[in-house]
Amino acid sequence: QKTSFHRCQTMDFKNGYAFFRLPREGVGGDTLFANQLSQDELDDLCTKGATLTYGQVKRPAPSRFTPAFVAYDKRVLKFDAYFMEEVALSAEEHYRIRQVGIYYYLEDDSMCIIEPKVKNSGLLQGKLMRRHRVPKNVHGDYYHWKDLNLGIDLTIYGRTYRLVNCDSFTKVFLESQGIVVNPPEELVSDPYTEQRRTPVQKRIVPTGPDPFRQFLAYDTKVLRFYAIWDDTNCAFGDHHPCIIHYFLADDTVEVREVHKRNDGRDPFPVLMRRQRLPKIFVDKNKNFPSCVLEITDHEVQEWYSPKDFAIGKTVTLLGRTFFIYNCDKFTQDFYREKYGITNFQPVDVNKKPLEKVPQVIPPYNGFGIPEDSLQNCLSLFPKPPRKDIIKMLENNLKVLRYQVALESPVPEDKHRRFILSYFLADDTISIYEPPVRNSGITGGKYLRRTKVTKPGSTPENPIYYEPSDFTIGSTIEVFGHRFIITDADEYVLNYLERNAESFPAATVQSIRDHFLPRKVVVETTSSGFPKKDLDDLIVEVQKELKLQEPFDTRQFHEAFHHCDTEGSGFLDKTRFLTLCDRFNVPTSTILLKKV
């Protein structure tokens, strides 16, 4: 008799937030007791059964759940089907039957269509549709395995497939699901493919002579001749080596030019394409356009044949003259069997080497060094002469310096002194004149660094000055100017003594004799004589000499060396005083005794 079944409000708001509260009264306004059980406790009581003993009754385990992707894993329904494809532009077929296989995957209800590949079919075969769920209609439904059966038409993306058969697993599965499987149908074959499989009727060969006998007998058999095309009559002509191929299968001739590396010609191997070449023409009208129309048997009386080619013969092919000088082994065997020719001696066509014209070197013109000027005669683009790098590295920064005097009839040149530097790295010489104040002569560079030839040497075989030619008192002629070596650097003596085996003994001894008096002075200074007194004595002698008339130092040195026959650097007191008295040096007897 209860008529009110409304539920109590359980939603409320507090401080602007909605929250859930327990109902204050039951359904229809019934009173709720304070010790009422919760919903979880009520659910537990519903599942409990009556027990006669103490303890809770064991509930049976729920049945095991298996998902579809596990239950139907690797289970596929396979149907044999075909579809008809229209062929628009073909005179031999109007439609084409293409056989396919439709695969339905039970694990995810996806489908794919695969067409077996046929060799040389010219069609894009294989997987026609990738695996995915195929839509059934515009309402969003998808194809299910319940929609598949034999003998039905299945439309997928506008193409209709006819299902004709299936495999045994597919048939058992559909029947287990309560689907009546229709009887299989015969798979329709492509009419054009069946037509291609029918055997072609063989052509009946006539009893007369076979026109292809020459082709079948001589196919792939070619005569090869080695020839020379003489093109020297034309401008910039030359002898071109060529290979003439005669094809026995159809009596055609081909000419190929043999190219060599860096021969300067265009790399076109075929000089004449393969064709039949006429030998003798029939008398024809002058207005016959032979340069336009092809030449046939009506215009040619005789074509070139194998008997027209032989070693030592000259043949004219399309206006070009070829001289045959050799052939290969197959060609020799062919002529030996068919024509009985046994002489196949090749002709020597190699050019005789031209006589080498001796190169005449023009005389040296005096500009630069002869080696540098010679490069202009040896090549169009001259290169600098090669240098001895090892010698330059070993003798880098090694310079022999000498003091030289100019031998000249001009009185103003007698007192001029020069520094001659010999560079061991490249055997060059430079001459420098130290500036002298109020001399009236501008000093500086007298000769730039260059090689200097000895007098009497020829430009074809120049002989340059060497360190062995520089001795004290020797004369050096430099481009018409004569210089006399009067002094040398101490480094010259040290270098000659370290490399004494490379220089003449006379050169080394000359430098030693020149430096011997200096060594005596050093020894005298170190022997206990006060150096200050010796320096004062030298200054005093120099002052005395300046008061005298112009003093000839060279004659004074020569007189001392002439008296010192042993080369010891010492003279006794008597000879010393005699020489000083002869040259009037010094005038003071007291100063002379001190010396």
- For the chain, give the percent of residues with pLDDT over 90: 41
Q: How does the average pLDDT of the chain come out, rounded? A: 85
What is the distance between the alpha carbons of residues 229 and 299, in angstroms, rounded to a whole number?
27
Question: What pLDDT was estimated at residue 586?
Answer: 63
pLDDT at 545 over 80: no
**DSSP element (H, E) containing 101:** strand 95-105
> What pTM was computed for the model?
0.38
Question: What pLDDT was estimated at residue 20?
Answer: 87
Instruction: Enter the CATH code of domain 211-339.
Output: 2.30.29.170
Residue 325 vs residue 369, higher pLDDT: 325
Instruction: Enter the CATH code of domain 370-524.
Output: 2.30.29.170
pLDDT at 245 over 90: yes
- For the chain, give the percent of residues with pLDDT over 70: 89
User: Per residue in 527-540, pLDDT tens?
Assistant: 556 667 777 777 87
What pairs with residue 351 in β-bridges? none
pLDDT at 499 over 80: yes
pLDDT at 288 over 70: no
Residue 236 vs residue 392, higher pLDDT: 392
What is the distance between the alpha carbons of residues 227 and 323, in angstroms, rounded to a whole number?
5
SS3 27: helix
Average pLDDT over residues 313-336: 93
Class level of CATH domain 70-197: mainly beta
What is the distance between the alpha carbons of residues 548 and 545, in angstroms, rounded to a whole number?
5
Residue 48 vs residue 563, higher pLDDT: 563
What is the distance between the alpha carbons of residues 83 and 98, in angstroms, rounded to a whole number?
6
Taking alpha carbons only, the member of 129, 158, 135 closest to residue 147 is 135
User: Per residue in 160-215, pLDDT tens?
Assistant: 999 999 999 999 999 999 999 999 999 898 888 888 888 877 776 555 556 688 88
pLDDT at 589 over 70: no
What is the distance between the alpha carbons of residues 406 and 62, in angstroms, rounded to a whole number?
132
Lowest mean pLDDT: which of 171-180, 278-287, 340-349? 278-287
Question: What pLDDT was estimated at residue 300?
Answer: 85
Q: Where are the domains of the chain?
A: 70-197, 211-339, 370-524, 548-594
User: Per residue in 456-481, pLDDT tens?
Assistant: 887 778 889 999 999 998 999 998 89
pLDDT band at 286 (very low <50, low <70, confident <90, very high): low
User: Per residue in 393-430, pLDDT tens?
Assistant: 999 999 999 999 999 888 888 889 999 999 999 999 99
Contacts of 488 (CB under 8 A, 6+ apart): 400, 401, 402, 403, 470, 472, 511, 514, 515
Residue 564 contacts residue 520 (beta carbons within 8 Å): no
3-state secondary structure 378-421: HCCCCCCCCCCHHHHHHCCCCEEEEEEEEECCCHHHCCCEEEEE
Question: What pLDDT was estimated at residue 567?
Answer: 64
Residue 421 contacts residue 403 (beta carbons within 8 Å): no
Question: What pLDDT was estimated at residue 402?
Answer: 94
pLDDT at 134 over 60: yes
Lowest mean pLDDT: which of 94-103, 488-497, 586-595? 586-595
Q: Could you give the angle at the alpha carbon of 103 between the alpha carbons of 99 and 106, nearest 5°?
A: 165
Question: What pLDDT was estimated at residue 532?
Answer: 72
**Domain pair 70-197 / 370-524, same fold:** yes
